[in-house]
Amino acid sequence: MSSRNKILDATFEEVYIYGYAAASTTRILKKAKLPRGSLYHYFPSKKALVLAMIEERLAPKVREFFDFEIREGEDALAIIEHTVKKMSKNEMLLKYGCPLHRLMFEMASQDIDIAMACEDEFKRLANKLEKVLKYGIERGEIREEQPKEWAEFFILSTWGILSRMPHTSDKTLFLKDMHRLIWAITK
Return the pLDDT at 157. Answer: 95
pLDDT exceeds 80 at position 187: no
Return the pLDDT at 117. Answer: 96
Q: How far is CA 48 from CA 27, 33, 51, 61, 96, in A?
A: 17, 20, 5, 19, 24
Over residues 131-173, the pLDDT tens digits come to: 999 999 999 989 888 999 999 999 999 999 999 887 777 899 9
Return the pLDDT at 1. Answer: 83
Q: Taking a C-beta distance cutoff of 8 angstroms, is the pair 161, 174 a contact?
A: yes
Per the DSSP assignment, residues forming a β-bridge with 186 are 142
Task: Tell me how far apart the alpha carbons of residues 184 and 180 are, in angstroms, rounded to a whole number.
Answer: 6
Task: Tell me how far apart the alpha carbons of residues 43 and 106 are, in angstroms, rounded to a whole number.
Answer: 22
Over residues 76-111, the pLDDT tens digits come to: 999 999 999 999 999 989 989 999 999 999 999 999
Return the pLDDT at 46. Answer: 94
Return the pLDDT at 127. Answer: 96
DSSP string, the chain: --HHHHHHHHHHHHHHHHHHHH--HHHHHHHHT--HHHHHHH-SSHHHHHHHHIIIIIHHHHHHHT-----TT--HHHHHHHHHHHHHT-HHHHHH--HHHHHHHHHTTT-HHHHHHHHHHHHHHHHHHHHHHHHHHHTT-B-SS-HHHHHHHHHHHHHHHTTS-GGG--HHHHHHHHHHHHHHHB-
Burial track 43-54 (b if 16+ CB lie within 10 A, e otherwise): beebeebbbbbb
Over residues 11-70, the pLDDT tens digits come to: 999 999 999 999 999 999 999 999 988 888 999 999 999 999 999 999 999 999 898 988
Return the pLDDT at 126. Answer: 96
Domains of the chain, start order: 51-185 (1.10.357.10)
Return the pLDDT at 186. Answer: 84
Average pLDDT over every residue of 2-7: 95
